[in-house]
Amino acid sequence: MLAKRIIPCLDVTLDEKGARVVKGVEFVNLRDAGDPVELAKRYDEEGADELVFLDITASAQGRKTMVDVIERTAEEVFIPLTVGGGIKSIEDINEMLSAGADKVSINTAAVKNPEFVRKAAEIFGSQCIVVAIDCRRNFDLSKGKYFVELEDGRKAWYEVVIYGGRKPTGIDAVEWAKKVEELGAGEILLTSMNRDGTKIGYDIPITRKISEEVKIPVIASGGAGKPEHFYEAFTAGKADACLAASIFHYREIEIEELKRYLKERGIPVRI
141 near 207, Cβ under 8 Å?
no
Phi, psi of 257 (to 5 degrees): -65, -40
Mean pLDDT of 85-92: 92
Residues 20-24: contacts with CB under 8 Å, at least 24 apart: 21/249, 22/56, 23/197, 23/245, 23/246, 23/249, 24/197
Mean pLDDT of 185-205: 95
- Exactly one of 44, 49, 134, 203 is catalytic; which is it? 134
Q: Hey, what domains does the chain have and what are their CATH numbers?
A: 5-264 (3.20.20.70)
Q: Is 35 a catalytic residue?
A: no
pLDDT for 67 equals 86
pLDDT at 29 over 60: no
158 near 138, Cβ under 8 Å?
yes
The percentage of residues in the chain with a pLDDT greater than 70, rounded to a whole number, is 91
Instruction: Output 254 or 12, whichever has higher pLDDT.
Output: 254
pLDDT for 24 equals 53
- pTM for the whole structure: 0.93
pLDDT at 23 over 50: yes
pLDDT at 1 over 80: no
The percentage of residues in the chain with a pLDDT greater than 90, rounded to a whole number, is 77
Burial of 52 (0-12, 13-18, 19+ CB in 10 A): buried
Q: Which residues contact 253 (CB under 8 A, 6 or more apart)?
A: 226, 227, 244, 247
pLDDT for 27 equals 47
CA angle 114, 188, 155 (to 5 degrees): 95
Residues 34-81: tens digit of each pLDDT: 788 899 999 999 999 999 998 877 666 666 667 888 999 999 999 999
Q: What does the mean pLDDT of the chain come to?
A: 91
pLDDT band for position 202 (cuts 50, 70, 90): very high
pLDDT for 26 equals 46
How far is residue 259 from each of residues 47, 86, 150, 241, 246, measured CA to CA in Å? 9, 32, 28, 12, 17
CA angle 207, 60, 147 (to 5 degrees): 25
pLDDT at 28 over 60: no
pLDDT band for position 180 (cuts 50, 70, 90): very high
- Exactly one of 11, 44, 92, 172 is catalytic; which is it? 11
Q: Is 11 a catalytic residue?
A: yes
pLDDT at 196 over 80: yes
